Structure 1
Amino acid sequence: MSLVETYAPHLPYLRRFSRALTGSQSEGDTYVRTALEALVAGDIVLEGDLSPKIALYQMFLTIWSTTGAKLEADREDEAVPAKRVRKLPPTSRQAFLLNALEGMTPADIAKVMNIAPEYADTLLAEAESDIEKELRTNVLIIEDEPIIAADIEGLVEDLGHSVDNIAATHKDAVSAVSEKKPGLILADVQLADGSSGIEAVEEITKTLNVPVIFITAFPERLLTGDKPEPAYLISKPFKPGNVKAAISQALFFHDA
C-alpha cells in the first residue's frame, strides 16, 4: 500500500489538530505540509510498529516540536475557545488536544508524544486543572426543588465555581441577574409558581451573552425541532458526572 493510501484518510483530522494546536488555519496547514514533504523526501521515517494514525501524528509532532514552535500571541479574530487552548503550556496543550479533539487514550498520547504513559496522565490532569482555573465563574441556578438545587450547587462548587443565587421562579431569576450577572446559568424548565424556566432564560439572554444548561424532567419540551434547541440539556434524574462534564464544556466552548 502506498503512502497516500495509508495516510490520506487521516490527513483531514491531522489538519484539524494542527490548526487547533497553532491557533491558525494557514499556519497549521503549513506545518502539515512541511511534515508531509519531509516524509515523502525520506527525511523522516515513520515507526512501522505503530498504527498509521499514531505514527502520522507522532511524526507531525516531531516536526512541530523541532522547528521552534511557540505559543503565538492572541489574535483579535481568534475565537475565545481557541485562545483558551493556546494558554496551556505546549506539552499540556498537545496532550489535551489529542485527547479532547482526537479522542486518543493516554496510552496513545504517550506513543504520539514519545513520553511515558504516566506522564501523559500528568499532562492531561495539568491541562484539566489549568482549564478549570481559566473557566472559574459565578453561577445562577434556576430550580424550584430545594434538594435538587442543593445537589446542583454542590456539583458547581466542586468544580471551583461559586453560586450567587438560587431562583425558584421566573421573577426571582430575572431579579437575580439584575443584581449580579452570572457567567453560567443552570435552569429547570418548570418552576415553583407555574412559571417557565425557558421563558426566564429567553428573557435573560436577550441582553446577556451567557452559556445555559437546562436540567429538566421534561426534555421533550425543548426537543421539538420547531425552533433552535439548547446545546446542553440534561434529563432528571441526572448523574453528577454528566452535569460536571456539561458545565466544563459549556464554559469552554462558549464564545464570550
Structure 2
Amino acid sequence: MPARILIIEDEALVAMELRFVLEDLGHDVVGVAATAKSARDIVHESEIDLALVDIHLSDGPTGIDLGRELEQDLGVSVLFMTGNPGMVRDGVAGAIGVLSKPADEQAVQTAVDYAMRRRQGQPVQYAPPGLQLFG
C-alpha cells in the first residue's frame, strides 16, 4: 500500500536520492523539508502517514523534538534516519526507531514497509536489518 511520506533532511542530494527511491517503490512523497519549521508547514497542509526524520537539520539538532511532536501531537509515524544513531539510542517516545545512514534502497524499503504495517496495526514479527527499534 503506498504511503504518504514526508522527508525531513537538510542535505539536498540525500533527500533527492531518498525521494527517487520512495517514488520508485510507489510511495507518494508529499514534500521535502530541510528545517523543523518547513516540516511543520508541510504537515499542517498535507495528510502524512510517515516522516523520515534526520536529527541534524539546517536549523540545528531539531529533528528529535520534531519527531516527538509529529508522532505525539499530529499522529504521524516517525522513523529517524541519521548517520549518528547513538544520539537516539535511548529511544524517542512514540517513534518507531532509527535507520542508520547511508541506507541502501533495500534497507529503506523494508524499514518503510515495517513502519506502515505497524501503523496499520498489522502483525510484525521482526524488525528489518538495519532498523533499530525503540522500546
Residue matched to 1:124:
none
Residues 98-132 of structure 1, C-alpha deviations (whole Å, 9 max, x = no match)? xxxxxxxxxxxxxxxxxxxxxxxxxxxxxxxxxxx
CA distance in 2, matches of 1:230, 1:212: 5
CA distance in 2, matches of 1:217, 1:229: 21
Residue matched to 2:130:
none
Instruction: Give the count of matched residue pairs.
Output: 121
Alignment partner of 1:152 is 2:18: yes
Cα offset for 1:205? 2.2
CA distance in 2, matches of 1:204, 1:181: 12
Residue matched to 1:238:
103
Residue matched to 2:125:
none
Cα offset for 1:228? 4.1
Higher relative contact order (CA 8 A, sep 6+): 2
Residue matched to 1:249:
114
Output aligned runs, 1:217-228, within 5 Å.
Answer: 217-224=83-90, 228=93
User: Could you tell me whether the CA contact under 8 Å between 1:232 and 1:250 is conserved in 2?
Assistant: no
Secondary structure of the residue aligned to 1:139 is strand
CA distance in 1, matches of 2:95, 2:68: 11
Residues 203-235 of structure 1, C-alpha deviations (whole Å, 9 max, x = no match)? 22233222211110110111036x647433111
Larger radius of gyration: 1
1:187 counterpart letter in structure 2: V
More helix as a share of residues: 1
CA distance in 2, matches of 1:188, 1:253: 21
Report the TM-score, using the length of structure 1 for normalisation: 0.44
Runs in 1 of length 4+ with deviation above 6 angstroms? none
Cα offset for 1:195? 4.3
Residue matched to 1:193:
59
Residue matched to 2:41:
175
Residues 68-101 of structure 1, C-alpha deviations (whole Å, 9 max, x = no match)? xxxxxxxxxxxxxxxxxxxxxxxxxxxxxxxxxx
CA root-mean-square deviation: 1.8
CA distance in 1, matches of 2:93, 2:43: 23
What is the percent sequence identity of the aligned residues? Answer: 35
CA distance in 1, matches of 2:7, 2:18: 8
Gaps of 5+ in 1: 1-134
Output aligned runs, 1:2-13, within 5 Å.
Answer: none
Gaps of 5+ in 2: 122-135
CA distance in 1, matches of 2:77, 2:94: 13
Residue matched to 1:142:
8
For the structure 1 residues 185 and 151, does the alpha-carbon distance in structure 2 shift closer, same or farther, using more than 3 Å as the test? same
Cα offset for 1:138? 1.4
User: Could you tell me whether the CA contact under 8 Å between 1:170 and 1:195 is conserved in 2?
Assistant: no
Cα offset for 1:139? 1.0
User: Could you tell me whether the CA contact under 8 Å between 1:144 and 1:192 is conserved in 2?
Assistant: yes
User: Could you tell me whether the CA contact under 8 Å between 2:5 and 2:51 is conserved in 1?
Assistant: yes
User: Could you tell me whether the CA contact under 8 Å between 1:142 and 1:186 is conserved in 2?
Assistant: yes
